[in-house]
Amino acid sequence: MLYDILIIGGGPAGLTAATYARRAGRSVLVIEKNAFGGQITWSPKVENFPGFVSVSGTELGDRLLEQAMEQGAEVELDEVVSVAVGADGVKTVACDSGAVFEGRALIVAVGAKPRMLGIDREEALVGNGVCFCAVCDGAFYAGKDVAVNGGGNSALQDALLLSEKCRKVYLIHRRDSFRGEQKLVEALQKRPNVEFVLNASVTELLGGDELTGIKVEQNGAGREIPVAGLFVAIGHAPDNGLFAGLMALDRAGYADAGEDCTTKTPGVFVAGDCRAKSVRQLTTAAADGSVAALAACRYLDA
């Protein structure tokens, strides 16, 4: 089947694009490699999305998916391994399962992936003490001591969530103050089981096949902290490498596209956190999704 629009990425940008494209009468397939809803499903509570006083990220992601499917969008859980554009303009997407899909237009909405600390054994211990999602993995550490590394809103929110489940939470940040919202900092200051470890960096991961602790350098001195889990929350990197031939990338790897969400390749559009922009929020991802979908529809009409 030749779809009107293929969408790679099932987060808020991709699912919003699917809803808009379907309402315009276009056939749509959304391909997602991990979980529909994207990174927002990691958030325990969302309070800054219009129309919701408070909603969990999982519920919001489920609603976005339900809405797109109710409009008639098709979805596929698979990992895209290659993308090609034919002489006739048809975009061919091959997946890890062996499935191949074709579309007249393509929207890239792959978001960004968590950044790692870049220390020895970090990748080997992912899933065995090193984590990136407090919502996903926090329950495994109930009653145990854990650490969170980071100073932005994501790190602060992770620490708050973990403080409700864990015996002790060490919040490690390389500066002497946090970048995140002051209200979150104040909430953490009221938690008796949260300790701020400022002017500090994680230098070593302890343990064998599972994490048993971390070494931290704080104000020039070394310190060992026994923890069962380390939650890394230091930002994200765009997942655009596969599409470098289709769109220009900036130095950080983000798609160098403007607010019109168009790329250098006719019929290829980009939306969400993988696009170069000054603000990355749920609302801007959804806005990108609508803009990219409508731009794709105009391309198909041309």
Q: Quick one: pLDDT at residue 274? A: 96
**Please, are residues 235 and 57 in contact by the beta-carbon 8 Å criterion?**
no
Instruction: Verify whether residue 166 is a known catalytic residue.
Output: no
**Which listed CATH number (3.50.50.60, 1.10.275.10, 3.20.20.60, 3.40.50.10680) goes with 130-232?**
3.50.50.60
Please pick, among 96, 120, 136, 176, the residue that the annotation labels catalytic.
Answer: 136
Specify the pTM: 0.74
Indicate if the pLDDT at residue 105 is higher than 90. Answer: yes
Give the pLDDT band of residue 207 (cuts 50, 70, 90).
Answer: very high
| Of 62-66, 91-95, 114-118, 119-123, minimum mean pLDDT range | 114-118
Instruction: Verify whether residue 137 is a known catalytic residue.
Output: yes
3-48 pLDDT, tens per residue? 999 999 999 999 999 999 999 999 999 999 988 998 788 676 778 8
178-193 pLDDT, tens per residue? 999 999 999 999 999 9
Residues 6+ away with beta carbon under 8 Å from 168: 145, 146, 193, 194, 195
User: Alpha helix (H) ranges present in 129-280?
Assistant: 134-137, 153-163, 182-189
Please pick, among 4, 131, 137, 145, the residue that the annotation labels catalytic.
Answer: 137
CATH 3.50.50.60 positions along the chain are 2-113+236-301, 130-232
Q: Which of 113, 87, 104, 86 is nearest to 7 (CA)?
A: 104
Instruction: Verify whether residue 274 is a known catalytic residue.
Output: no
The reply to whether CATH 3.50.50.60 applies to domain 2-113+236-301 is yes
270-291 pLDDT, tens per residue? 999 999 998 888 899 999 999 9
